[in-house]
């Protein structure tokens, strides 16, 4: 597995200079929202005194879990301007309300299309700069 440079939050802050509206979406148990393919499931099998168990979803603590998660989220948000992820947070900024709402709607539609869920209490919508 190739490692990938994770997005740097400071870059997002620098690029957001002058933006007037922000939203932050928090994926609920981010890693667990991604199903593993059959080969990866075999690799993620572990033994206990009660038998063998196999992860069906991306596991926290796996050697490449973070890199895989970052790569999948980057693909997930690609093509939507002014959107960046910082681990399981998806951040949206814009200079104007109309553009922000358009991008926010696009992200929310992808979340719905992929059957992802958000942690409502950690999401922030339409925050002013």
Residue 100 lies in a domain: yes
Residue 41 lies in a domain: no
Using DSSP's 3-state secondary structure scheme, residue 118 falls into strand
The whole domain housing 17 covers 9-30+63-128
Q: How high is the pLDDT of residue 28? A: 92
Q: What is the mean pLDDT of residues 16-25?
A: 84
Q: How high is the pLDDT of residue 5? A: 57
pLDDT tens digits, 56-100: 998 888 778 888 888 888 888 899 988 888 888 899 988 889 999
Strands of 124-128's sheet in order across: 83-86, 89-94, 21-26, 124-128
Residue 120 lies in a domain: yes
- Helical spans, DSSP H, in 17-96: 38-43, 65-77
Q: How high is the pLDDT of residue 30? A: 86
Q: How high is the pLDDT of residue 24? A: 92
Residue 114 lies in a domain: yes
Q: How high is the pLDDT of residue 7? A: 58
As for how many domains the chain has, the answer is 1
The percentage of residues in the chain with a pLDDT greater than 90, rounded to a whole number, is 36
Residue 54 lies in a domain: no
* Contact (Cβ atoms closer than 8 angstroms) between residue 88 and residue 30: yes
Residue 122 lies in a domain: yes
Residue 14 lies in a domain: yes
Q: Look up the pTM and report it.
A: 0.78
Domain CATH number, residue 117: 3.30.70.270
Residue 48 lies in a domain: no
Quote the distance between the C-alpha of residue 128 and its chain's center. Answer: 22
Q: 35 has which bridge partners?
A: 57
Least confident range from 12-26, 80-94, 95-109: namely 12-26
Q: How high is the pLDDT of residue 15? A: 72
């Amino acid at each position: 597995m190739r490692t990938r440079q994770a997005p740097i939050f400071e870059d997002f802050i620098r690029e957001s200079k002058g933006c007037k509206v922000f939203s932050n979406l928090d994926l609920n148990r981010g890693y667990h929202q991604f199903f593993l393919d059959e080969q990866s499931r075999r690799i993620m099998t572990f033994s206990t005194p009660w038998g063998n168990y196999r992860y069906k979803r991306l596991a926290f603590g796996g050697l490449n879990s973070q890199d895989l998660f970052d790569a999948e989220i980057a693909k997930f948000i690609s093509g939507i301007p002014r959107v960046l992820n910082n681990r399981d947070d998806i951040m949206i900024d814009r200079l104007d309300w109309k553009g922000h709402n358009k991008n926010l709607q696009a992200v929310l539609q992808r979340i719905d299309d992929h059957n992802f869920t958000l942690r409502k209490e950690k999401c922030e919508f339409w925050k002013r700069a």
